[in-house]
Amino acid sequence: MFGKMAIRNIPEEVLTALEALAARNDRSVEAEARIALRSHVQPTVEREIRNTRVAEVGTRLTNVLEQVNQVRGTRTLKPSHIAQAIGEDRASEVEDWFIGQEEPTFTQLASIADYLGCSRDWLQHGDGKMFKVHTERLSESAGEAVEQLLDLNAERPVTFLHLVREESAAGELLIIKQYDDWRCATWTTPIHVSDAIGAGGERALSCLSVTLQLLYAYYTSRRGTRVLVKSYQLPSEACKAIRGGATHPLVPLQDGYERPWWEDFWDEGQFREHADYWVGWKAICERIFRVVSNDDRLNQLREQIARKQHPLFPHEFGIA
């Protein structure tokens, strides 16, 4: 018996050879038969596994290319563009990767992942999310937070900064840093831009208020001409899609949800005059403005920024 299988009518010469092999290897005839059967089918199993993997890699390549091509304002990428970008001599081999006919090396997949801005682990192995989503705390120091948001000390500066408030009672804040036409880094944060906060949330929003004021000062200075900052009020389903990592983070932002709340949140001359961006907008702005006014350190920092005397701008404003 072999599992649920009984093998009958084995030719005598085959059985004799099997018995001889079993004796030579000090195994039972049944054990020798199992090994012989496994050796016979193993190449077929391995081919099927390989074919499945090659097909899965091709599907992942196609899926991420489709996501990137949904980003507005970018040219429609084809496998030939990718072949050229990663230094391949011909497009035909790369096209075979996309249709699941040939398998690229891990190095080639890593190069494609870096070019398209997706996760290496996901593209190489199917592990994790197509687009990585990190959880990160924004520094409570306004200067450090602006450097963190814009990667001011990095070799690759941010070209677009997208500040996304979820359209919910909690108002969770998402941050998307865009480096070129489609490559991004996405964060979730513990910050809630709403009245649904306790003492810790109030402190975080107070620091965010001063950070946004400093960000605006930088953005409107000569040094800020290389970056574009936008803010959004995004439905919960769209935010869920971004957090899920299977949707390019820029795609949900394209449906008309831009709202310049980041420019008004900290500015009493604006948030008291403008129409509400969401229910409770003016109440939370007034609350946080009072908190900053009653905090000596934050209030001094706010006044310093208003006078354009923050150390982030030593050359522009003559501060040592």
Q: What DSSP state is assigned to residue 276?
A: P
Whether pLDDT at 32 is above 90 = no
What are the backbone angles phi and psi of residue 134, rounded to the nearest 5°? -100, 155
When computed from its CA atoms, the radius of gyration of the chain, rounded to whole angstroms, is: 29
The alpha carbon of 249 is separated from its chain's Cα centroid by a whole number of angstroms, namely 7
Identify the residue whose tokens are 């496998």.
79
Exposed/middle/buried for 285, CB within 10 Å: 0-12, 13-18, 19+?
Answer: buried
Mean pLDDT on 55-82: 95
Mean pLDDT on 139-150: 95
Map out the domains of the chain as residue ranges: 12-130, 133-317
Name the percent of the chain lying above pLDDT 70.
84
The pLDDT of residue 165 = 98
Whether pLDDT at 98 is above 80 = yes
The pLDDT of residue 19 = 73
Out of 13-22, 144-153, 207-216, least confident range:
13-22
What are the backbone angles phi and psi of residue 100, rounded to the nearest 5°? 75, 30
pTM of this prediction? Answer: 0.83
Number of CB atoms found within 10 A of residue 12's CB: 7
CA atoms within a 13 Å half-sphere pointing along the CA-CB vector of 166: 21
Out of 35-39, 120-124, 166-170, 282-286, least confident range:
35-39
Residue 145 near residue 155 (C-beta atoms within 8 A) = no
Distance CA 191, CA 109 (A): 35
Whether pLDDT at 178 is above 90 = yes
The pLDDT of residue 228 = 96
The pLDDT of residue 226 = 86
The pLDDT of residue 230 = 97
The pLDDT of residue 318 = 38
Q: Which long-range contacts (CB under 8 A, 24 or more apart) does 143-150 make?
A: 143/214, 143/310, 143/311, 143/312, 145/207, 145/208, 145/211, 145/214, 146/211, 146/214, 146/215, 146/218, 146/312, 147/312, 149/175, 149/177, 149/211, 149/215, 150/177, 150/215, 150/218, 150/227
**Closest by CA position to 312, among listed 152, 158, 143, 142:** 143
Out of 23-27, 112-116, 281-285, least confident range:
23-27
Residue 202 near residue 194 (C-beta atoms within 8 A) = no
Distance CA 314, CA 320 (A): 6
The pLDDT of residue 82 = 98
Identify the residue whose tokens are 């499945």.
52
Distance CA 319, CA 192 (A): 34
Q: What CATH number belongs to 12-130?
A: 1.10.260.40
In terms of pLDDT, which residue wins out, 93 or 14?
Answer: 93
Whether pLDDT at 4 is above 60 = no
The pLDDT of residue 2 = 44
The count of residues in the chain is 320
Residue spans of alpha helices (H) in the chain: 12-24, 29-68, 79-85, 91-98, 106-116, 120-125, 142-150, 199-219, 236-244, 261-264, 268-271, 281-293, 296-306, 314-317
Give the pLDDT band of residue 209 (cuts 50, 70, 90). very high
